[in-house]
Amino acid sequence: MSRKMINFDLDTKLLEEKYPKKDYRQAYEDIKKFMLANGFEHRQGSGYLSLKSMSTYDVAIFISDISEKFDWLANSAKKFDITNVGKTYDLLDNLKEVQLMKNTEQLNNMSLTITSIENLRPELQKIFKTGTEISKQDELSTLINTLDHVDKLVNIKNKNDLKFANDKETIGLKIKTKENKSFDLNIPLGSNNFSKGLEHLVAVGSNDISREKISDKDKDSYKEIVEKFGKDSSKTNEILQNGQTFDKFLNGGLQSIQAFASMGGDEMKEFSNSFIKSFQILNINGATKSTAPNIQTSMAKDMTNLDKQLKQIAENLSPKKDKDKELTNYKNLEHSR
């Protein structure tokens, strides 16, 4: 024996004859009352499931009873079938659990969207895409670190050109924190703002003096995301293999890194070439187990070397170095006299 599923479909024209003064849908309501009173539960539409297993004899009794109750049913039914139901698994709790996990993940995710690039120098306007909300941790880490490197490169470029940072050269961002706070920011480039934490980023980029304070939880979350880049080898492998992460916020994807890296001179070009080469090898080899670990190690080393190179270049171009050089030249000139 098994539980039975009963489905039926009625001819509405014949029902209208049976219910001339009433809405013909009353017939469905009458049948529903009968089914619920005789050991069935309503599932959907005209579908009813028996609460208990039914034998062939039980089914015969049921047919006899419903025919006697509704003498018009035999002529009005276009379809009336019964299905044996095997073991039933209640998945409602599973569905709710999965949805809860998704909702929790969405609530607990920080997100960042590039909203405007019109205040950037032309070569940077060509690189960045706007309007895509990035919320997955690995993608978010990649975006923030990319912005951080561009910020540093602009700083180096300004020093090479003997220019001060231009506060009007900004990139528009929308940041949503884990605690569901939202900030519309215009971050000046060229002052290493992205490496100084979330609180600093909001402070320099927001014009809203009544804005909410950044919680310690959000500060830690931002720091964790920034530091995550390149440390999860499996995720790094995935990012590099498909290139889709960079495509979400960079025109030309990963290749456009070469464009903005060229602003930093030969040292940055060298890093960029190494970075691109690693990606291309990984892509060609399909991220096989034999090649991927070496490439991932190389990528992590490149990321570390990048920050070291940026720091060294910045130190070499610092005003103190320039002053020391000028003083040395002056002393040499005096000595020659």
Confidence of residue 233 (pLDDT cuts 50, 70, 90): very low
Residue type for 85, please? V
Q: CA–CA separation, 120 vs 129, rounded Å?
A: 12
pLDDT at 293: 45
Per-residue CA distances from 75 to 25, 26, 67, 97, 305 (Å): 16, 17, 11, 46, 83
When pLDDT is averaged across residues 324-333 and rounded to a whole number, the result is 52
pLDDT at 214: 82
When pLDDT is averaged across residues 273-301 and rounded to a whole number, the result is 47
Q: CA–CA separation, 277 vs 281, rounded Å?
A: 6
CB 88 within 8 A of CB 6: no
- Smallest Cα–Cα separation from 121: which of 53, 169, 171, 86? 169
Confidence of residue 250 (pLDDT cuts 50, 70, 90): confident
- Smallest Cα–Cα separation from 305: which of 326, 335, 275, 327? 275
Give percent of the chain above pLDDT 70. Answer: 62
Third-level CATH fold of 3-85: Alpha-Beta Plaits (3.30.70)
pLDDT at 141: 82
Using one digit for the tens of pLDDT, what is the confidence trace for 69-125? Answer: 998 888 888 889 999 987 766 666 666 666 655 554 444 578 899 999 999 988 888
Using one digit for the tens of pLDDT, what is the confidence trace for 191-217? Answer: 888 888 888 999 998 888 777 788 888
Using one digit for the tens of pLDDT, what is the confidence trace for 251-266? Answer: 876 667 666 666 666 7
pLDDT at 146: 82
Q: CA–CA separation, 102 vs 135, rounded Å?
A: 13
Mean of all residue pLDDT scores within the chain: 74
Q: Is 290 helix (H, G, I), strand (E, B) or coil?
A: coil
Handedness of CA 22, 28, 29, 31 (dihedral sign): positive
With a cut of 80, say whether residue 159 has pLDDT above it.
no
Confidence of residue 131 (pLDDT cuts 50, 70, 90): very high
pLDDT at 212: 77
With a cut of 80, say whether residue 294 has pLDDT above it.
no
User: What are the boundaries of each domain within the chain?
Assistant: 3-85, 107-323
CA-based Rg of the chain, rounded to a whole angstrom? 34
